[in-house]
Structure 1
Amino acid sequence: MAPPTRYQVGLLLAQTVVVQAVTFMLRPASAYQALQLDVPASWLGLLGASFAVAPLALAVPAGQAVDRYGERRTALAGAALLAAAGVGFVLLGGTIAGLALASALLGTGHLCAVVAQQALVANATPAGRYDAAFGYYTFAASLGQALGPGLIVLFGGDRPIPDTGAIFLGATVVALPLLATAALLRPSGQHRRATAGRTGGVADLVRTPGVPRALTVSCVVLAAVDVTLVYLPALGAERGIAAGTIGVLLGLRAVASMVSRLLLGRLVAAVGRRRLLIGTVVVSAVGLGALLPPLPFWAMAVVVVVAGLGLGAGQPLTMSFLAESAPPGLRGRAMSLRLTGNRLGQVLIPSTAGFLAAGAGSAGVLACTAVGLAGAAWVATGLHHPARPPAAPPRGGRAE
């Protein structure tokens, strides 16, 4: 397979930016809308979990669809679902049930788009460049995550509760061009070659040494990002901080993640993948834990930047590990398996956080999340750089 052209790489990165911008614009907006509906703080975690419930069951089938039908078709399905989710927020956002339904659509569309994108990066990148490639890919994701909350400032950001109706409508308009960009993506063709023979399945991936640890770390790190998206706005509402200020803080966290991801290839070459993963997870735990006491804006900004630097590296590092471990024809399933663990964390951790919020408040939830990150850093101490997968062909097939 010929390497992707600059046009195709730019197209993939542009689609990644828009997918994340739409998602990270709608998710905080749904939390603000829930607060406007006088939903108790303990229910916010359940609203966050609705984003992950349906995708939790569909993650592995989405990976199988990528491996069987190709990245482009799955990306198209994800784009259509994201647009449908925007419409759902516009039409049904006046009730908590409608918010939950639209959040489930959003999570499913995000899942399909992300699995397709990650599998395309894994299938089109030489084995020795995974850290840099996934660093650039997740850099684009962080750019979208920074733009999404930043757009909240344009829609009544000087108030504690912004104009969520305008945010929902604007995100829907932004999502529509995703259909065109997905249609223009060139699939890797790995799905056609994989059908020539058997390549194993999810059970084989789970038995790969180190994979359970990588999945655990990925799950906790992403859940920590998820908790900040829901409970940082709630913390702002509790302390009377304007929505625009919280949007700036969320944007700073994403920008900090962009910096760590842009430099990921160089950092791995200098420090090593395992040590870098441990260190960045510890840094993110320290950053979130520091939000427990009331802080002035400048101090909150410093703390959020520190947390963002740490949270940014965890996802691409675990992607690189799985891409190197999985054989051709199973990389879509490998990425979907990682996302399954992530979604499981997004169901359990925010739901648990919601119950904690009833007694400990939003600051207590963030502190508990920091403790979870410290545990993930300990798990990562047993994770070692995998050997490059052998070039032997799958049973019944030919080597690439």
Structure 2
Amino acid sequence: MTKNEKSASPGTLRWLLVLIATALLSQTALNLIRPVTTYKLIALDSGPVTVGAVTAAYALLPLVTAISLGRISSRTRQVRYMMLGGIILLALGGAGIALAPNVVLVGAASAVLGMGHLMFTIGGQSSIARFLPDSELDKGFGWFTAAYSAGQFLGPLVAGLILGTGTSPDSPERVASIGISLWIGVACSILATPLLLANLQPATNKNNAAASPERPKTSALGILRVPGMSSHMFASLTLLSMLDILTAFLPLVAEQHNVTPVAVGVLLAIRGCASVASRLVIPQLSAHFSRPALLRTSLYVAALTLAVAPFFIDSLWIAGSAMLVGGFFLGLGQPLTMTMISTSVAPADRGAALAVRLMGNRLGQVGLPILASTVAAGMGPAGAIWFCCALLGISGIEKSIRR
């Protein structure tokens, strides 16, 4: 470790703790709002195709803005302002979904929600790539994404508890509970703002990327041409899309089998909790196994186990076991792809490379829900989950061939 890194370590650790706290709050909000959005669509008499379209709308604005935001995150000295803007948009998107009287406005508010998530995520990931030494990137990305998984555990659990055990999709009680859940998500997001308003960001960074605006920019195409980059991007895309498909379509599978929202919340919470555990042990696993081997294992095991859950949705312990194992291995993949992408490019290009990764993720989040909903129209809602599991397996095979 260099002298600069040693002197900056207390401030860097403090900022990492801020990132973890704000990620936990924002992702609890996001993952409370998103499954409840599906229940609101069900109450509005929507089917799998509409749910797929609204899920795709969530990623539409991020798809066209990811690279530009990545460039901004690399140049700006106060990246916390980007994260703060993301938190505000998350709150506005959740409020819009709560107030929306029809499917079109739910889709528009979901797009705002997705934009907020993108801004916060780019800011947080860029901060880790900028301020942490390369030797600690696995730990930084692992802890940051562990906070995401903790939010993915808490959000659905709170939503399920509020929505309760009723199975009538449009009863007054269900409609009222949906509104309460969404407003709680908005409030949870707003709680993160004080941490970002305070100037707790480190004053210096390890590569001075933000202080070098004259450096020629590497194009998105140039980043994609880096050896192995497109493979990492595809793995990242399928892993994130699996989370989206589970969140959006598992409630539909449950409604088809008269499984209560509480049970759905518990299943999604189990998945999130397992991902927290896996991300906290990534530094230890990386010390004994190579990143490519861990990523391949993540893709294969997640594909096999998560495909089991829809078959046994009415048996909580079987579906829960599948979500536990699948969630653990699904959780490994995202931080590993972040580290592999970050270390594949020059330090000053890391914000842009992570933005290209997020653009690829959003491309998958736009296209795959539409494709998945088409499959679901023929096979039922479970078909959407199986479709995404197949893509995880294909990504694992592609990684194995590239060895």
TM-score using structure 2 length:
0.91
Match of 2:82 among 63, 71, 74: 74
Q: Secondary structure in 1 aligned to 2:343? A: helix
CA distance in 1, matches of 2:298, 2:68: 31
Distance 1:365 1:323, change over 3 A: same
Q: Structure 1 residue 109 and structure 2 residue 116: aligned?
A: yes
Q: How far 1:19 sits from its partner (Å)?
A: 1.4
Q: Is the 8 A contact 1:75 1:113 kept in 2?
A: yes
Note if contact 1:194-1:328 (Cα within 8 Å) is conserved in structure 2. no
Whether the 8 Å CA contact 1:217–1:379 is kept in 2: the answer is no
Correspondence 1:245-324 to 2 at 5 A: 245-294=263-312, 295-324=314-343
For residues 186 and 66 of structure 2, what CA distance do their matches in structure 1 show?
24
Q: CA deviation at 1:144?
A: 1.1
Aligned to 2:191: 177
- The residue type paired with residue 201 of structure 2 is R
Matches of 2:218 and 2:391 in 1, distance apart?
Answer: 33
Aligned: 1:209 with 2:227: yes
> Aligned partners of 2:337, 2:361: CA distance in 1, in Å?
11
**Distance apart, 1:153 and its partner CA:** 3.0
The RMSD of aligned alpha carbons is 1.6
Distance in 2 between the 1:207 and 1:382 partners?
A: 18
CA distance in 2, matches of 1:216, 1:5: 31
Aligned-partner SS, 1:23: helix
Specify the alignment match of 1:348 in structure 2. Answer: 367
Out of 253, 272, 275, the position equivalent to 1:235 is: 253
Retained in 2: the 8 A contact 1:143–1:254? yes
Work out whether 1:97 is the aligned partner of 2:104: yes
Q: Which amino acid aligns with 2:73?
A: V
Q: What displacement does 1:241 show? A: 0.5
Match of 1:393 in 2: none
- The match for 2:237 among 210, 216, 219 is 219
Residues 291 and 367 of structure 1 are in contact (CA less than 8 Å); yes or no, is this contact kept in structure 2? no
Cα distance, 1:355 vs structure 2: 1.1
Q: 1:142 to 1:267 in 2, by over 3 A?
A: same
Aligned 8 A contact 2:66 2:355 in 1: yes
Measure, in 2, the Cα distance between the counterparts of 1:6 and 1:271. Answer: 26
Q: Percent identity?
A: 30
Q: Work out whether residues 199 and 327 of structure 1, in 8 Å CA contact, stay in contact via their aligned partners in 2.
A: no
Q: Distance in 2 between the 1:324 and 1:381 partners?
A: 20
State whether residues 193 and 329 of structure 1, in contact with CA within 8 Å, keep that contact through their aligned partners in structure 2.
no
Q: Which amino acid aligns with 1:300?
A: A
Unaligned segments of structure 2, at least 5 residues: none
Residues 331 and 383 of structure 1: is their aligned pair in 2 closer, same or farther, counting only changes over 3 Å? Answer: farther
Which residue number corresponds to residue 130 of structure 1?
137
Check conservation: 2:161, 2:265, Cα contact below 8 A: no
1:27 equivalent in structure 2 = 34
Q: Which residue of 1 aligns with 2:379?
A: 360
Question: Conserved in 2, the CA contact under 8 Å of 1:149 and 1:247?
Answer: yes
The residue type equivalent to 2:336 in the other structure is: L
C-alpha distance after superposition, 1:233-267 (max 9, x if no partner) = 11111100010110000000001111111111111
Per the TM alignment, residue 196 of structure 1 is displaced from its structure 2 partner at its CA by 4.6
Structure 1 stretches lacking a partner, 5+ long:
385-400
Distance, in Å, in 2 between the alignment partners of 1:292 and 1:165 is: 27
Distance, in Å, in 1 between the alignment partners of 2:351 and 2:186 is 28
Mapped to 2, the partners of 1:345 and 1:200 lie a distance apart of: 23
Opposite residue 372 of structure 1, the aligned amino acid is: L
Q: CA deviation at 1:157?
A: 2.2
Give the corresponding residue for 1:15.
Answer: 22
How far apart are the structure 1 equivalents of 2:39 and 2:247?
11
Please give the alpha-carbon distance, in whole angstroms, between the structure 1 residues aligned to 2:157 and 2:399.
32
Equivalent pair of 2:26/2:188 in contact (CA under 8 Å): no
Q: Secondary structure in 1 aligned to 2:353?
A: helix
From 157, 176, 201, give the equivalent of 1:186: 201
Tell me: CA distance 1:230–1:236, structure 2 relative to 1, closer, same or farther (3 Å).
same
Deviations 1:198-239 (A, max 9, x none): 353323211110100000000011101110001111111110
In 2, Cα distance between the equivalents of 1:366 and 1:286? 11
CA distance in 2, matches of 1:65, 1:178: 22
Tell me how far 1:335 sits from its aligned partner: 1.0
Q: CA contact under 8 A between 2:235 and 2:395: conserved in structure 1?
A: yes
Q: Which residue of 1 aligns with 2:147?
A: 140
Alignment match, 2:355: 336
Q: Give CA-to-partner distance per residue, 1:333-357, whole Å, 9 cap, x none.
A: 1111111110111111111111111
What's the counterpart of residue 397 of structure 1?
none
CA contact (8 A) 1:199 1:329 kept: no
Distance of 1:105 and 1:310 partners within structure 2: 30
